């Protein structure tokens, strides 16, 4: 319970404990906001954080075959963008001590000390199994971002995180050489995002304040994540103490795939009750339906040298719904409602489809315990990803945006050439 008490304020009267039975229930908990801010080190400030209930299930007799389940019921956090840069050190420390703590020697010594605290042997293998298979269930998550008089609310009915196997089925994972690929599945249910304007009568939100020059806006907040990709000040200081070597930029590969997406376009109209002077109600009337199947978005980045985005749709259907906005009534013939239709049937995509070479593909090299190979050369990329290849993989729409930075040398001078390509 000491680990939980590090982030949550625990009181003896707040929880019911049956630890040896494998269950623990914690009620009405307040988060330790300063500890969480120091742990995540993001440009945000926690104004408040409260958890209604936490349930822990620990299968003591089956730690090597069953996961620990953490269930969080109703968690609400109110956040605000930080006005100044985050400083995780104590204010009492002098500038000299801060500079000393950032030196490469101190950081290397700290890493060696942390590595020495790792328990060896069987205990370490059990700890790895526990952390790799930890399951987290969150019911009723409420997060509010407040900036001036704007409130961005994110409400989620439920979310679950658990480990899966190579077929993306729930499983207990035991990583062993040469397989070191850990897969996690995250399921969201009923996610709602609202952008509202608060007022001074709202007790949870502050009164509108005039903006300051050093306030951090949404753009600055998003830009604050860039140093995680580009070299930070500490990394640059460490590089100055070592001989300069050219390292290949890291490769970032992101893929998002959807089996079917449905969009319903609706019109709003005000309806007055039959009672005279009654209140008006807002009714939503659908007028168009868009369905797409076999949708993929893939992004491949290697520093500033290579950037590629591919987007494709296998088939698409656009139909009218209900009464036309022009007032004409729909005909009985259903085909007359089709505005746009095209593409191939997903069942016919056997050799190549929208998730080919992804982790969802059984024949993917990663699922065959082989290293992934990425094409990072512009000429080779164009030879492989031709228009015929894209339409064979998808069917109705395919877009390939390629950016390559090539360095050439001529007569002792180094030049940089840019290459753009869109298909």
pLDDT score of 227: 42
Distances (CA, A) of 84 to 42, 87, 92, 203, 207: 11, 9, 18, 25, 20
- Residues pairing with 78 in the sheet: 48, 144
Asked if residue 391 belongs to a domain, the reply is no
Asked if residue 156 belongs to a domain, the reply is yes
Question: In this predicted model, what pLDDT tens digit does every residue of 121-168 receive, in sequence order?
Answer: 677 778 888 888 989 999 999 999 888 788 888 899 999 999 988 888
Asked if residue 381 belongs to a domain, the reply is no
Question: In this predicted model, what pLDDT tens digit does every residue of 78-91 receive, in sequence order?
Answer: 988 877 655 544 44
Distances (CA, A) of 39 to 33, 42, 80, 117, 170: 10, 9, 16, 19, 30
Q: Find the domain containing 12 and state its range.
A: 1-247
Between 236 and 216, the more confident residue is 236
- Residues pairing with 397 in the sheet: 313
Residue 176 three-state SS: strand
Q: Please, are residues 317 and 261 in contact by the beta-carbon 8 Å criterion?
A: no
Bond before 223 cis per omega within 30 degrees = no
Distance separating the N- and C-terminal Cα atoms of the chain: 56
pLDDT score of 161: 92
Asked if residue 322 belongs to a domain, the reply is no
Number of domains in the chain: 1
Distance CA 12, CA 29 (A): 11
The two three-digit tokens of residue 94, written as one number: 């002098």
Is the pTM above the cut of 0.85? no
Distances (CA, A) of 397 to 194, 225, 318, 353, 378: 32, 32, 14, 13, 22
pLDDT score of 229: 43
Among residues 18, 29, 146, which one has the least CA distance to residue 78? 146
Distance CA 86, CA 116 (A): 29
Is residue 370 over pLDDT 70? Answer: yes
Quote the DSSP letter at residue 225. T
Phi-psi region of 370 (alpha: psi -120 to 50; beta: other; left: phi over 0): beta
pLDDT score of 400: 93
Mean pLDDT of 50-66: 86
Asked if residue 219 belongs to a domain, the reply is yes
Distance CA 43, CA 217 (A): 10
Span of 78-92, 220-234, 360-374, 391-405 with lowest mean pLDDT: 220-234
pLDDT score of 71: 92
Would you call 401 exposed, middle or buried from its count of C-beta atoms within 10 A (0-12, 13-18, 19+)? Answer: middle
Question: In this predicted model, what pLDDT tens digit does every residue of 263-309 receive, in sequence order?
Answer: 888 887 777 666 666 667 778 888 889 999 999 999 999 888 899 99
Asked if residue 368 belongs to a domain, the reply is no
Asked if residue 5 belongs to a domain, the reply is yes
Asked if residue 417 belongs to a domain, the reply is no
In 303-396, which ranges are E strands? Answer: 306-320, 338-343
pLDDT score of 332: 61
Give the CA count within 13 Å in the CB-facing half-sphere of 342.
9
Mean pLDDT of 248-259: 87
């Amino acid at each position: 319970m000491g680990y939980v008490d590090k982030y949550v304020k625990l009181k003896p009267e707040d929880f019911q404990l049956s630890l040896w039975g494998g269950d623990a229930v914690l009620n009405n908990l307040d988060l330790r906001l300063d500890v969480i801010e120091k742990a995540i080190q993001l440009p945000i400030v926690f104004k408040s954080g409260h958890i209604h209930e936490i349930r822990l299930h620990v299968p003591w007799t089956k730690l090597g075959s069953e996961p620990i389940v953490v269930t969080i019921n109703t968690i609400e956090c109110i956040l605000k963008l930080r006005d100044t840069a985050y400083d995780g050190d104590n204010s009492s420390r002098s500038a000299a001590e801060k500079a000393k703590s950032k030196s490469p020697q101190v950081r290397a010594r700290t890493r060696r000390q942390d590595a020495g605290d790792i328990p060896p042997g069987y205990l370490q293998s059990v700890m790895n199994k526990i952390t790799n298979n930890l399951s987290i269930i969150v019911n009723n998550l409420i997060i509010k971002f407040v900036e001036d008089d704007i409130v961005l609310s994110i409400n989620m009915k439920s979310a679950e995180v658990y480990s899966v196997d190579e077929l993306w089925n729930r499983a207990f994972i035991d990583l062993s050489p040469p397989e070191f690929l850990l897969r996690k599945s995250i399921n969201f249910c009923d996610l709602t995002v609202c952008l509202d304007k608060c007022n001074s009568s709202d007790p949870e939100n502050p009164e509108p304040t005039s903006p300051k020059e050093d306030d951090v806006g949404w753009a600055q907040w998003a830009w604050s994540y860039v140093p995680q990709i580009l070299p930070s000040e500490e990394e640059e200081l460490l590089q100055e103490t070592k001989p300069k070597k050219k390292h290949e930029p890291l490769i970032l590969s992101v893929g998002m795939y959807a089996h079917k997406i449905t969009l319903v376009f609706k019109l709003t109209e005000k309806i007055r009750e039959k009672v005279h002077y009654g209140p008006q109600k807002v009714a939503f009337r659908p007028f168009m339906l868009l369905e797409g199947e076999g949708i993929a978005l893939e992004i491949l980045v290697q520093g500033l040298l290579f950037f590629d985005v591919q987007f494709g749709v296998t088939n698409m259907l656009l139909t009218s719904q209900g009464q036309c906005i022009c007032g004409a009534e729909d005909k009985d013939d259903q085909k007359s409602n089709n505005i746009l239709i095209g593409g191939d049937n997903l069942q016919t995509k056997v050799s190549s489809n929208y998730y080919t070479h992804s982790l969802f593909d059984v024949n993917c090299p990663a699922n065959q315990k082989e290293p992934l190979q990425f094409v990072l050369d512009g000429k080779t990329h164009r030879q492989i990803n031709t228009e015929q290849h894209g339409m064979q993989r998808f069917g109705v729409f395919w877009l390939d945006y390629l950016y390559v930075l090539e360095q050439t040398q001529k007569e002792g001078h180094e030049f940089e050439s840019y290459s753009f390509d869109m298909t």
